[in-house]
């Protein structure tokens, strides 16, 4: 009787990024990236040099990846070049002169820079210093290099320093394992306002 062909299970790849020990032996933040096939889970945890901390982090990350595999995220197909060109032409015809004159910010890319309209990149976490805006531009560049963002749709960053730390151990190739929403909020604040009002109306009606 022929043997039943077993389903191929891809290997599990775990990447640990541990902080440099300091003289005070205080716990510092470490990063663990676990990947199996096309899915991955990124976890940050406190590490003080104890092996048990690594074992717990690996176990928790493995459980999270298993949960993710049971309900994998749905990633929409990228728009075709024809539909993208049509959308771009429609947008150009609808744009007002004021939008054409909107100031831009230069976002550093792996190869050169890209000018992004300033309304497309917002910091909503309260940071307003020059360092935060520079960090936001670097985050935007990494999202573009990683293929998650086209530089046209509005995005909002809650905490530039937390997002930057989350991205630090990732390569451009690793970004294909995530969605844009894993790092930033998508859409402008104005776009979310009507939805929030509708939710509030439903709550009032229900009560």
Q: What pLDDT digit, counting tens, does each position of 36-54 carry?
A: 888 888 888 888 888 899 9
Q: Cα 117 vs. chain centroid, distance in angstroms?
A: 20
| Single pTM value for the model | 0.50
Give the pLDDT confidence of 122-144 residue by residue, as tens digits. 888 777 778 888 888 999 999 99
What's the confidence (pLDDT) of residue 196? 47
Domain ranges for the chain: 12-70, 99-193
Between the CA of residue 117 and those of 24, 82, 111, 140, what are the distances in Å?
Answer: 45, 23, 19, 12
> Which pairs with CB-CB distance under 8 Å and at least 24 residues apart come from 66-73?
68/39, 68/41, 69/36, 69/39, 72/39, 73/179
Q: What is the pLDDT of residue 2?
A: 62
CA dist., res. 133 & res. 188, Å (int): 17
Strands 121-123 and 155-157 come out as parallel
How high is the mean pLDDT in each 10-residue block of the chain (207 residues)? 72 88 76 89 87 92 89 68 59 52 85 88 80 88 92 90 90 89 82 50 48
pLDDT for the residue numbered 82? 57
85: left (phi over 0), alpha (psi -120 to 50) or beta: alpha
Render pLDDT for 77-87 as a digit per residue (tens, 0 to 9): 655 555 556 66
């Amino acid at each position: 009787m022929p043997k039943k062909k077993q389903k191929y299970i891809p290997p599990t790849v775990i990447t640990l990024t541990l902080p440099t020990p300091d003289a005070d032996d205080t716990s510092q933040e470490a990063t663990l990236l676990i990947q199996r096939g096309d899915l991955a889970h990124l976890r940050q945890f406190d590490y003080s040099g104890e092996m048990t901390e690594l074992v717990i982090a690996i176990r928790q990350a493995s459980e999270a990846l298993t949960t993710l595999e049971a309900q994998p995220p749905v990633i929409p197909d990228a728009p075709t070049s024809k539909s993208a060109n049509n959308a771009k032409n429609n947008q150009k015809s609808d744009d007002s002169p004021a939008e054409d004159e909107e100031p831009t910010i230069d976002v550093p890319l792996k190869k050169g820079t890209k000018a992004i309209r300033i309304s497309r990149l917002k910091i909503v976490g309260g940071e307003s210093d020059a360092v935060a805006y520079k960090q936001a531009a670097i985050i935007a560049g990494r999202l573009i290099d990683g293929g998650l963002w086209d530089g046209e749709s509005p995005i909002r960053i809650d905490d530039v320093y937390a997002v930057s730390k989350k991205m630090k151990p990732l390569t451009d190739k690793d970004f294909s394992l995530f969605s844009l929403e894993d790092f930033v909020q998508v859409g402008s604040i104005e776009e979310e306002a009507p939805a929030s009002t509708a939710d509030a109306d439903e709550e009032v009606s229900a009560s």
